Amino acid sequence: DTAVSQTPKYLVTQMGNDKSIKCEQNLGHDTMYWYKQDSKKFLKIMFSYNNKELIINETVPNRFSPKSPDKAHLNLHINSLELGDSAVYFCASSHSLFVRQGDNYGYTFGSGTRLTVV
């Protein structure tokens, strides 16, 4: 069973469209994240949720709206897609919100969703 699964793996869409990326983790983790990896491979956090509660929202445009129906799922909806949104989006989860020694801490990443806006 895949620990953190994202769908779809590839997404090609036109400017102005609305699209969603889904993420599910079966690790029993409390915290989930969305990261964006740009064309230069730079990884930057977008959002984090802990037990369905939004914790981190890193200056992401309002067109991006995360939704966490339960702690095993964190979906990302993007409105009015722009060319600059083209990137690889990674979902990740961690055991807990705080990085604590003693936790088996470390993110588990999904395999990514490559979004191409044309």
Partner 1 sequence: AQSVTQPDIHITVSEGASLELRCNYSYGATPYLFWYVQSPGQGLQLLLKYFSGDTLVQGIKGFEAEFKRSQSSFNLRKPSVHWSDAAEYFCAVGARAGGTSYGKLTFGQGTILTVHP
Contact residues: partner 1, CB under 8 A: 4, 31, 33, 40-45, 48, 50, 55-56, 90, 92, 94, 97-101, 105-112
Is residue 95 a contact partner of residue 85, using CB atoms and an 8 Å limit? no
- Which residues are CB-neighbours of 52 under 8 A, at least 6 positions away? 68, 69, 70, 71
Instruction: Report the residue number, 75 or 93, with the smaller CB distance to partner 1.
Output: 93
Instruction: Report the residue number, 24 or 90, with the smaller CB distance to partner 1.
Output: 90
| Closest distance to partner 1 from the beta carbon of 23 (Å) | 11
Instruction: Report the residue number, 15 or 99, with the smaller CB distance to partner 1.
Output: 99
| Closest distance to partner 1 from the beta carbon of 82 (Å) | 23
| Closest distance to partner 1 from the beta carbon of 35 (Å) | 8
Instruction: Report the residue number, 16 or 106, with the smaller CB distance to partner 1.
Output: 106
- Which residues are CB-neighbours of 62 under 8 A, at least 6 positions away? none
Rg, C-alpha atoms of the chain: 14
Q: Is the peptide bond before 69 cis (omega within 30 degrees of 0)?
A: no
| Closest distance to partner 1 from the beta carbon of 55 (Å) | 6
